Amino acid sequence: MKRTTLALVDDHRLFRRGLMSLIDLINDEYEILFEADNGLDLQTKIDPQNPPDIYLMDVNMPDMDGFATVNWLRENYPLSKVLVVSMIENEEIIVKMLKLGVKGYLCKDVEPQILGEALRAIKNKGFYYTDYITGKLVHSLQFPETNDSSQPAIQISEKERTFLKLACSEMTYNEIASKMFLSPKTIDGYRNSLFEKLEVKSRVGLVLFAIKNGYVDLGLDSK
């Protein structure tokens, strides 16, 4: 029997190794064709004559993230089946990925049994949506986000805006300070100011705010 071919697209090599171990635990019906750090790396490794049956892909990746990669695959390999495996459980991110046509969405702490179910379902049915993911999609359709003009706009300075965008990268705060030609103490000031303005308590909160409000480009097709 022909084995189902896979590609692992994730910038964390240690996680890719763990994912390979999980796939080995399932059974021997899968073959990993290649690994890639991001969408650009994928483009150099994919064989047009023998593309993978299923892509296991993260959302956050440098240079070319999951959104841009799914868009590229949709344009160049329209039959591609993408299973997202990510730590991000934000409803907006999940729904955007589903609308781009991914065939499933799993958290990175997934059990081998669930991963096996997802791969088999995508292979045989073409998709794998858990009750949790389906609920997120239904909720987004029933309760679409609207702009509430009664809420005062949050005032963010140009420097804070630049800091916010850089905070969404893998750069450390010291590296951000160097990038902006500012002292680490000044960067701490921007961070603490945004914590207060946005009512968040961590860098994750800053990133989620930036994504939700369009301060970073997720690579979505505007059409």
Query: Which domains does the chain possess?
Result: 4-142 (3.40.50.2300), 158-212 (1.10.10.10)
Write the Ramachandran bin of 101: left for phi over 0, alpha for psi from -120 to 50, otherwise beta. left
> Cβ distance 157 to 165 under 8 Å?
no
Q: What is the pLDDT of residues 166-175, one digit of tens each?
A: 988 888 999 9
Position 215 scores a pLDDT of: 75
Q: What is the pLDDT of residue 60?
A: 92
Residues 57-63, mean pLDDT to the nearest whole number = 93
Q: Which residue type occupies 58?
A: D
Tens digit of each residue's pLDDT (9 = 90 or more) over 23-54: 888 877 899 999 999 999 999 999 999 999 99
Token match 């997802």: residue? 118
Burial of 70 (C-beta count, 10 Å sphere; 0-12/13-18/19+): buried
Residue 132: the pLDDT is 72
Q: Which residue type does 24 have? A: D
Convert 95-123 to b/e letters by CB count within 10 Å (16 or more is b).
bbbbebebbbbbeeeeeeeebbbbbbbbb
Q: Which residues of 36-60 are buried (b: 16+ CB within 10 A; e: fewer)?
A: bbbbebbeeebeeeebbbbbbbbbb
Strand order in the sheet with 54-57: 30-36, 4-9, 54-57, 81-86, 104-107
The answer on pLDDT for 100 being more than 90 is: no
In this prediction, residue 136 has a pLDDT band, given cuts at 50, 70 and 90, of low
pTM for this entry:
0.63
Which 3 state secondary structure label does DSSP give 145?
A: coil
* Confidence label for 150 from pLDDT (cuts 50, 70 and 90): very low
Distance, in Å, from the CA atom of 211 to the CA atom of 59, rounded to the nearest integer, reads 12
What is the pLDDT averaged over residues 104-123? 90
Q: Are 9 and 57 in contact (CB under 8 A)?
A: yes
Q: Are 84 and 59 in contact (CB under 8 A)?
A: yes
**Residue 1 has what pLDDT?**
66
